[in-house]
Amino acid sequence: MKNTFGQSVAVTLFGESHGPMIGAVLDGLAPGVRVDEDLIRMKLALRRGGAALSTARREADPFQIVSGIFEGRTTGTPLCIVIPNGDTHSADYAAMRSLMRPSHADYTAYCKYHGFQDYRGGGHFSGRVTAALVAVGAVAEEALREGGICLGTHLLSCADVRDREFGSLEEDIAALSGKPFPVLDEAAGEKMQAEILRAREEGDSVGGVLETAVVGLPAGVGEPWFDTVEGVLAHILFSVPAVKGVEFGGGFRLAALRGSRTNDPMRVENGQIVTETNFGGGIAGGITNGMPLLFRCAVKPTPSISLPQRTVNIETMENAELSIRGRHDPCIAHRARAVIDAVTAIALCDLMSQRFGTDGWRKNP
């Protein structure tokens, strides 16, 4: 399926960094979901990140909803949002046609597309394409919210600085909503931002870990094999540029612990079955158990750094040195949060619709 993901609710991406526009098509969403353009605008702003911390190319993204909306609500037919590309300086990149940026997709794209790819600004691999994902993801998130499901992501760690753990999920999710630098502990956030700025000054970059919580998911969603909730979410999460690891609940920590410690004891509470701990991250046997869904994504440091790097010239097949000029993001982990929220919302709409049908899970179908 390549650039389309999902079964009952599916998203398709298109566009290049320096082409006329980028866009995303979200198909299969229930009709009647309210579409709030301010919410889309806010999510796009979160993806762009704050001025001090991020790249120079910072104009607001002038998105246009071109289909799937009528009288302020989704129609149920494919929802397409496009974002025209503003002024881009292709000349800046032309010089780098042949110099492969290490740990970017330049070389792998060259191998896959035999040199026909649009190399300018990363082309179709550019993080810019995620703006379209974020825009349609905002609508998916609204659909979930109308179904009683909400989600949020914080920067659990960045460059060795650690945010506090999630506490009261509803409150934490509400607090994170709209916060440009998504931490639960402001002091930790200050330190992270200082580290990011220090990295920039040194021509370098840093990574981070993002942690996501989803509340309100019913039990019984997902499949025992292959389309496990973990598998479906991980599949799309690894599309978020720079994500190199995904773990659910206790994740990698579980490997060193005993079962007596990590099994989640169950009990009846107000007529509902709950678990006392949540090492499973809200999933057992690939299927939701009604507890909050919890997962973490590792975001590698931005590969664009201004320090000199060893690389190759693909045309001459000779070794070369490369210094990436211009202003580059010393960290994308905090910005990636908007993309993670978006793809999570899309994948969950898909899982819910597979289980309950197009609109069987909507509160007011």
Compute how many other C-beta atoms are within 10 angstroms of the C-beta atom of residue 102.
16
Residue of 334, 87, 95, 296 lying closest to 205 (CA atoms): 334
Nearer to a second copy, 184 or 333 (CB): 333
CB of 162 to a second copy, least distance (A): 10
| Exposed/middle/buried for residue 255 (C-beta within 10 Å: 0-12, 13-18, 19+) | exposed
Q: Strand pairing of 161-162 and 150-158?
A: antiparallel
Nearer to a second copy, 113 or 170 (CB): 113
3-state SS class at 13: strand
Q: Which tokens hold the place of 343?
A: 């793809």
Nearer to a second copy, 136 or 176 (CB): 136
3-state SS class at 118: coil
As a whole number of angstroms, the distance between CA 313 and CA 331 comes to: 27
CB of 159 to a second copy, least distance (A): 7
Nearer to a second copy, 75 or 177 (CB): 75
CB of 46 to a second copy, least distance (A): 20
As a whole number of angstroms, the distance between CA 281 and CA 295 comes to: 7
CB of 319 to a second copy, least distance (A): 5
Element housing 236 (H / E): helix 229-237
Nearer to a second copy, 178 or 360 (CB): 360
For residues 311 and 321, the answer to whether their CB atoms sit within 8 Å is yes
As a whole number of angstroms, the distance between CA 41 and CA 191 comes to: 28
Nearer to a second copy, 178 or 285 (CB): 285
CB of 311 to a second copy, least distance (A): 5
CB of 353 to a second copy, least distance (A): 8
